[in-house]
Amino acid sequence: QKRRAASAPPASPPSPKPRVDKSAEPGEHPLVAFGPQPVSNDAEFGLLIDAGSTGSRLHVYEWPKRVFSTLPPPITHPLTSELWTKRRAPGISSLADDPKAAAETLLPLIEHAKVLLRHYQKDWHRFPIWVKATAGMRVLAHTPRRAIIEEVRALLLSDKNPFHFVEADAARVISGEEEAGYAWTGINFALGHLLEDGTGSGTARPTRAGGIVE
């Protein structure tokens, strides 16, 4: 029998060149975004705060403006950089006796986002912000857990936060199953296992996806 040659896995797209913010002050880290330029001058950004047990991490993401002429619309490929991440300790769950103080530990992260997005200040009110609390908050009793989340929501609705707090559920404690789902999706996306052609857009068919232990 003739042996069929194994098909080679799809080649990964070449790494894009970083885009450097040349207006950074002397001694300041330049802002670097990996990926294509937005399709218009109006960049789209979103902010996610991962409120873990030992600290909270801010992640700022950029994606091309959702303008398309075909259906179904193309998959948006979010872009980020390690310079767009900041960690703040302690975790909000460690301040269960003072829910307001717990919420205010997120203020330095919001201030960091304002610095990163200083060139887009007129659009801050459009950029959504989410807070996803994980294991540290899940183990708290219902009353202190709810009190902290209510204070976080109040903070995000106040004038201390210039970004778009969409709805109450944009700040909440997520389940372990949801957290594991995000981990599975993130790892397989980074490995190129969700999109068959490896281009960063297309129809997701996870035939090569791998499992994870969370």
The residues annotated with a catalytic role in the active site are 179
Q: Which two tokens stand for residue 114?
A: 């304002």
177 Cβ partners below 8 Å, 6+ apart? none
What residues form DSSP beta bridges with 32?
20
Are 152 and 111 in contact by the 8 Å Cβ rule? The answer is: no
Say what the alpha-carbon torsion angle 56, 81, 33, 209 is, to the nearest 10 degrees: -110
